Every structure is written in structure tokens, then in C-alpha cells.
């Protein structure tokens, strides 16, 4: 679901791509994040190859992703490929169980949030990940 004109996103918005194997999860996250005035979802994908293509096309600030997509090795490899494509990209991992911070660090993400988040927690995590370093 790439935005038809990614350059049209206002400068004060955090540009986000959502990566999750489940269509409903991607749609729900996009709807939730679009409610806020600080975030613009510019694309989404359900598979690693599609995710890399969407990220390359839309140049987001933050990728919100399930690092187990479709398995842990593929998710970790995708994080590495995203960083190779754009070293400035910030990655926020979503996890179902375990300690989010531990899982985020383990897979190489910049931050993590449980999939059982409160909407305010997800939005705060995305905003924090999207802030320029040192801001």
C-alpha cells in the first residue's frame, strides 16, 4: 500500500512502513497510527522481499515490523537488508511474548513494543523511534 506520492507527506510527520505477515494486523496498525497527527503510514508489506521494495520506494523514517516474519531468521535478515539499504532507518520490532526490549536488541531493532500494546504505547514508541538522534 505505498502512498501515491511519498514526497507529499508533511515534513513534521514521521513516515512509517508496517511489515507483518497478517493483513488484518497491518490494516489495524495503519488505521491506528493514521489517527495521530504525527505519523503518516506510507506503505506496508507482508513478506520480506515486498518490504524491502516498499521501504526502498517510500524512504520511511521508521519501519514497524514483526521480527519473526515469516520466521526469526528471515526477520533478522530483513532488518540487516533494510539497514544496508538505508543506514538512517529506524526499526521498531513488535513481539507477541517475552521482554520487548530484549527481543528488540536481539534482532537488531532500535526499539520494541508488545503486540498487545495500548494505542498510546505504540504511538509513543513510533514517535520516539522517529525522532532524530539527540532530539
Report pLDDT for 6. 42
Domain 13-130 has CATH 3.40.50.2300: yes
| Angstrom distance (rounded) from CA 123 to CA 117 | 10
| Angstrom distance (rounded) from CA 15 to CA 38 | 9
CB 59 within 8 A of CB 85: no
Report pLDDT for 97. 60
Sign of CA dihedral 82, 63, 28, 7: negative
pTM: 0.83
DSSP-derived 3-state class of residue 67: coil
**Which is more confident, 38 or 91?**
91
> What are the pLDDT digits (tens) for 45-102?
999 999 999 999 999 999 999 888 777 777 888 988 998 989 999 999 887 665 555 5
| Angstrom distance (rounded) from CA 76 to CA 58 | 21
Amino acid at each position: 500500500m505505498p502512498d501515491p506520492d511519498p514526497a507529499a507527506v508533511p515534513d513534521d510527520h514521521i513516515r512509517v512502513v508496517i511489515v507483518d505477515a497478517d493483513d488484518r494486523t497491518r490494516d489495524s496498525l495503519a488505521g491506528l497510527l493514521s489517527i495521530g497527527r504525527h505519523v503518516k503510514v506510507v506503505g506496508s508489506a507482508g513478506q520480506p522481499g515486498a518490504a524491502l521494495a516498499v521501504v526502498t520506494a517510500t524512504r520511511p523514517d521508521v519501519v514497524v515490523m514483526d521480527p519473526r516474519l515469516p520466521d526469526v531468521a528471515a526477520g533478522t535478515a530483513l532488518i540487516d537488508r533494510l539497514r544496508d539499504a538505508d543506514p538512517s532507518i529506524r526499526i521498531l520490532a513488535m513481539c507477541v511474548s517475552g521482554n520487548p526490549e530484549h527481543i528488540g536488541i536481539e534482532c537488531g531493532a532500535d526499539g520494541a513494543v508488545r503486540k498487545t500494546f495500548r494505542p498510546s504505547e505504540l504511538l509513543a514508541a513510533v514517535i520516539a523511534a522517529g525522532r532524530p538522534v539527540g532530539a
